[in-house]
């Protein structure tokens, strides 16, 4: 028997946010996997004279859904996360959410510089190791901050870690991948001294980083409800 009496405005609002979050997330991550698992090899198979004919019709619409899917995913996720933090028995959402945003912003500032680095940092394994250290420090900082503010539930911790990676992935899309692709596709002119090969490598590394980050990100997001292993 259906019982709609349990559907309070709060429940409906939170469920709507989650549904939007899931829908946009499937779109975003689906295109992320397509770029890395299919398009990278496909681009290598294209003759140079074919790329200007194929890519504008193929890549531009894909990038539109890819980058705006990322925005909707993260914005709806943060709104939902604020409701979770507001339900913590010891503290409200304001200060923990602000602390979380500051920690994630600092982590991304470091990652942004790493991706733009030259030399050894342009090698995938080196960048992956450096990124793993940054993510570990970010997670520890989130945990320490939440202990200080009295946040102590598994959903708050798990989404704080997984969502932090999601925000970093979003910033990679808009801060590195899309600016590079605009120049590679000829939508905006190259700046003086810019090298297309360097831009392509930078976009590739940021995209590959996002692909690998999506694995622990999805783990922690799923663990928020189904694997209660973080608490204090």
**Closest of 181, 179, 165 to residue 29, by C-alpha:** 165
Q: Tell me the per-residue pLDDT of 67-109, one tens digit each, with 9 for 90 and over.
A: 999 999 999 999 998 888 877 666 666 888 899 999 999 999 9
For residue 89, what are its two tokens? 């028995």
For residue 232, is it within any domain?
no
Provide the whole-model pTM. 0.91
Q: Tell me the per-residue pLDDT of 56-70, one tens digit each, with 9 for 90 and over.
A: 888 899 999 999 999
CA distance 108 to 168: 6
Q: Tell me the per-residue pLDDT of 203-220, one tens digit each, with 9 for 90 and over.
A: 999 999 999 999 999 999
Look up the domain containing 74 and give its range: 4-226
139 pLDDT more than 70: yes
Across all residues in the chain, what is the average pLDDT? 88
For residue 231, is it within any domain?
no
- Considering its fold, how many domains does the chain have in total? 1
For residue 39, is it within any domain?
yes
- Do the Cβ atoms of 145 and 219 come closer than 8 Å? no
Q: Output 227 or 180, whichever has higher pLDDT.
A: 180
177 pLDDT more than 80: yes
For residue 99, is it within any domain?
yes
Position of tokens 């943060």? 78
């Amino acid at each position: 028997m259906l019982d709609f009496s349990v559907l309070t405005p709060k429940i409906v609002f939170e469920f709507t946010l989650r549904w939007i979050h899931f829908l946009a997330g499937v779109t975003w991550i689906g295109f992320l996997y397509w770029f890395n698992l299919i398009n990278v090899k496909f681009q290598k198979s294209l003759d140079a004279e074919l790329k200007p004919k194929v890519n504008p019709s193929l890549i531009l619409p894909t990038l539109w859904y890819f980058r705006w899917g990322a925005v909707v995913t993260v914005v709806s996720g943060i709104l939902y996360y604020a409701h979770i933090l507001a339900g913590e028995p010891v503290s409200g959402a304001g200060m923990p959410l602000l602390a979380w945003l500051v920690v994630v912003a600092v982590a991304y500032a470091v990652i942004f510089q790493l991706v733009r680095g030259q030399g050894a940092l342009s090698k995938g394994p080196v960048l992956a190791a450096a990124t793993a250290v940054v993510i570990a420090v970010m997670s520890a900082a989130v945990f320490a901050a939440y202990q200080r503010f009295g946040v102590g539930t598994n959903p708050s911790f798990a989404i704080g870690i997984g969502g932090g990676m999601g925000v970093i992935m979003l910033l990679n899309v808009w801060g590195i991948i899309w600016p590079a692709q605009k120049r590679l596709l000829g939508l905006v002119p190259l700046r003086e001294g810019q090298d297309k090969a360097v831009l392509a490598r930078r976009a590739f590394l940021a995209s590959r980083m996002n692909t690998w980050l999506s694995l622990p990100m999805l783990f922690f997001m799923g663990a928020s409800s189904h694997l209660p292993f973080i608490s204090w």
